[in-house]
Amino acid sequence: MVVTFWYAYGDLVRKVLLDLVDRFNAAQSRVLVRAVHQGDYFESLAKLRTALAAGVAPTLSHVVLEVVPYLARAGVLEPLDEYEGALDLPFVPALAQRGSFEGADREPLVAIPFNRSTPIVFANGRALEQEGATLPRTWEELALLARRMTRSGAGGEVRWGFEVPISWWYWVAMVGQAGGRLVERDGRTSLGGDAGEKAIRFWQRLVRERSMRPPPGRDYQAWQSSNESFLQGRLAMMWSSTAYVRYLEKNARFPVVAAPLPRDIRASVPTGGTMFVLMRAAPDEEKRAAWEFVRWMCEADQTMAWSTRTGYMPTTRPAVDRLVESGWYASHPNDRVAYDQLAAVDPWPWAPELFRLERDIVEPRLEEAVLNGRDAHEVMAEARDEAARPV
């Protein structure tokens, strides 16, 4: 039985995934997983939605976390509660569907954690040592250290103290840190209220003080730009994804130091990455075959290989336990920081409009505010008004 699996990766992560697919295919003769690259997360999602509309979707895919409630409401995802062993998989609670979304315990199981991550601080350990500095624990400490670490060279080059992509994910982290919620408990979409505006003003302040460089490009172009600037020594600190731990450690010419995101009034991070999903319209035998692969990927050996070779979070408790027992975390403290930060996770709302809030309403306005200086209150009031309109 052939299972078509659409995936969205490049570089090291793509290689690791294809190695695991090859290992699964070689280990048994019942199922052949055919992995097909579909670009980055958002390109892959656009192709998946088109394929679903045309009735030619793959059996198996992985999708960015925030789109799961939308696809579930659309009825295109296979409910997995009755699949063998689905409810017994020993996931790290914060990374499973029902820990990743508030209210998901009332929904059918449709998504299995795959490459999961949180935003995290990365710093140039050599620069920190030269300055005698420690990583910031609060927003105000971040602002002070970013100014202190910013340097201008005689030739006009600049080492920036701080950089973060002007992106929904990092803004959501700051909304939680400032005490806000995207969707209130009564169901009203507040986009954090005052906390959402406070997060924007903090970014605007750092840009105005010339201690933070907004990276060029959108989406993962901006993320990659930050990574490359960091590796070239042009950034002292940046916020990026735990997914890049291994890539940065292997390519930096200086020690890479990870730390939790700083807090405002409290610690808070969102989870990110993608979930495995099976397409409901696929033939039953193909879905059963795809489930064999998904379950195999959730076994401790594969979970550990995926996590240790990439930097994504280990998604099952047995994998975490074995990493602790083997001494992996003791010798890879940056990975331990990422895992420990799960204690500060705020679940996403189970809201079908979540992905629309991200892509159409909030993210473009973040760029307008931070890059073009639009008033934070004006921008977010406009975003809340649009979010309240029926689609």
Determine the pLDDT at residue 222. Answer: 81
219 — pLDDT class (breaks 50, 70, 90):
low
Residue 4 pLDDT greater than 90, yes or no? yes
Answer yes or no: do 261 and 196 share one domain. yes
Answer yes or no: do 68 and 217 share one domain. no
pLDDT digits (tens, 9 = 90+) for 189-217: 999 999 999 999 999 999 999 999 887 76
Q: Which domain holds residue 249?
A: 119-270+353-388
Answer yes or no: do 124 and 262 share one domain. yes
Rounded Cα–Cα distance for residues 289 and 305 (Å): 22
Q: Percentage of the chain with pLDDT > 70?
A: 98
Answer yes or no: do 205 and 129 share one domain. yes
Residue 391 pLDDT greater than 80, yes or no? no
Least confident range from 10-14, 67-71, 253-257: namely: 10-14
What is the number of structural domains in the chain? 2
Answer yes or no: do 97 and 179 share one domain. no
Long-range CB contact pairs, 366-374, < 8 A, 24+: 366/166, 366/167, 366/168, 366/171, 366/200, 367/166, 367/218, 369/200, 369/203, 369/204, 370/166, 370/200, 370/203, 370/204, 370/207, 370/214, 371/166, 371/214, 373/204
CATH number assigned to the domain comprising residue 306: 3.40.190.10
Answer yes or no: do 103 and 198 share one domain. no
Answer yes or no: do 375 and 239 share one domain. yes
> Of 326, 344, 362, which closes a domain?
344
Q: CB burial class (10 A; 0-12, 13-18, 19+) of residue 174?
A: buried
pTM over 0.85: yes
Answer yes or no: do 260 and 184 share one domain. yes
Considering only residues 391 and 137, tell me which one the structure prediction assigns the higher pLDDT: 137
Residue 305 pLDDT greater than 70, yes or no? yes
Answer yes or no: do 83 and 140 share one domain. no
Determine the pLDDT at residue 371. Answer: 86
Answer yes or no: do 150 and 246 share one domain. yes
What's the whole-number mean pLDDT along residues 360-382?
93
Rounded Cα–Cα distance for residues 337 and 325 (Å): 17
Answer yes or no: do 105 and 152 share one domain. no
Answer yes or no: do 103 and 243 share one domain. no
